[in-house]
Amino acid sequence: MEKILDIAEAIAHEKGLQPDKVLEALKTAFVQTAKRVIDRNFAFEANVDEETKSIKLIQTITVVADDDARLEDEELAPAFIPLTEAREYDDQVELGDQLQVDHNLEEYGRTGAAQLHREIEFHIQRVVEDEVYNKYQSKIGTLVSGRVTRVDAQNTTYVEVDEIRAVLPMKSRIKGEIFEVGDHVKAVVRRVNMDKEHGISIELSRTTPKFLEQLLALEVPEINDGTVIIEKAARIPGERAKIAILSTHPQVDAVGATVGVKGVRINAVSDELIGENIDCIEYTSIPELFVSRTMSPAIISHVEIVKNEEGENEKAIITLPADQKSKAIGRSGINIRLASMLTGMQIELVESDSVTNENGEIEEAKDGVDALEALFN
């Protein structure tokens, strides 16, 4: 085939691929075609002739001793030639030398041309899929957006993202969300799979903490430029979330920057999450203080951290006034669950005899007086 380099460049330009990868795919197509139409046991290689811009197909044959056992093997024999026979072509050859025989696929007529066409299509498609796979593999955990093209009977939503169709399963949608064809959807790439039968499949999610983090980075410039860092995030999708944030600049208030003036930034993110309530907590490396902050809005008296045998923080025993227990647990246990997810520790609540006054300060209850009565005295 003439001017194969020009063809490689044209394909690369059309498909948005690197020319060298396309050229390698073409060379592989030539070799596979030769194995199919000439002999699958031959050792072929395809080399590019820079002057003619064509591919030369070469069969490599290794010179072996006349009594070499491989010459008796039907599958191995085509790759070898006995020394005596090789010297009929070149009396200078020695054992282990490799002879090269040129082949021209054009000599095999329509069969060779049709097979080469199929092989080129196949291997170019593999290069395209590899490029797309690598592209989206690097995007796992990042935000993408696209248009809904179909919603099936199982409420699986198919989204067109750039050049491919991604899948948003019902389990990865926020409770109560309903999408229709034509809707514009934001989500994060959760998983990228590739197999020979179905090609590339991309799974999206709107329920992971990463989705919340990516939305905040989109809405809050300080997070996007690294001035404010999201250390940890925990969500119960569609209901409530907690994020632990830290400022890297002494003059930037992490919580204030994230919430925005009159809550405009955090509310924009909450709206995208179907009204999900988002608590912003200032992160600290002091575990006792961090646990205390994650239990907000409950007011905590004391936190004790219990470590496991490996010295890792495993459990937090929280002492708090009796009137703060319901706040600490939250509706349906949502507050304590999020705090546990955010800290990575089990949380145990222990009631004390103290109460909180009208200023939110903890006071010891009076002897013989019910804690609730002491609060109002």
Residues 183 and 264 in one domain: no
Same domain, 29 and 101: yes
For a pLDDT cut of 90, what percent of the chain falls above it?
A: 53
pLDDT at 107 over 50: yes
- pLDDT tens for each residue of 134-190: 889 999 999 999 999 999 988 899 999 987 889 999 999 998 899 999 999 999 999
Q: How confident is the model at residue 362 (pLDDT cuts 50, 70, 90)?
A: low
| Number of structural domains in the chain | 4
Nearest to 146 by CA among 182, 199, 172: 182
Which domain-ending residue is among 184, 205, 226? 205
- Does 33 share its domain with 68? yes
**Residues 31 and 129 reside in one and the same domain:** yes
Indicate whether 47 and 122 sit together in one domain. yes
According to DSSP, the β-strands at 184-195 and 354-356 are unpaired
What domain range is 313 assigned to?
287-377
Residues 179 and 275 in one domain: no
Note whether 252 and 180 are same-domain residues: no
Read off the pLDDT of residues 190-213 as tens digits, 9 standing for 90 and up: 999 887 777 788 999 999 999 999
pLDDT-derived band at 373, boundaries 50, 70, 90: very low
Q: Which two tokens stand for residue 302?
A: 């004391």
Task: Verify that 253 and 200 share a domain, yes or no.
Answer: no
- For the record, the structure tokens of 360 come out as 């939110």
**Distances in Å between the alpha carbon of 127 and those of 14, 138, 240, 314?**
13, 17, 43, 47
pLDDT for position 356: 66
Pick the last residue of a domain from 97, 114, 136. 136
Give the CATH number for residue 87. Answer: 3.30.1480.10
275: left (phi over 0), alpha (psi -120 to 50) or beta: left
Boundary (domain end) residue, out of 224, 255, 283: 283
First to last CA, the chain: 98
Instruction: Mark whether 241 and 272 lie in a shared domain.
Output: yes
Residue 261 has pLDDT above 80, yes or no: yes
Q: What is the CATH number of the domain that holds 158?
A: 2.40.50.140
The per-residue pLDDT for 328 is: 94
pLDDT for the residue numbered 355: 67
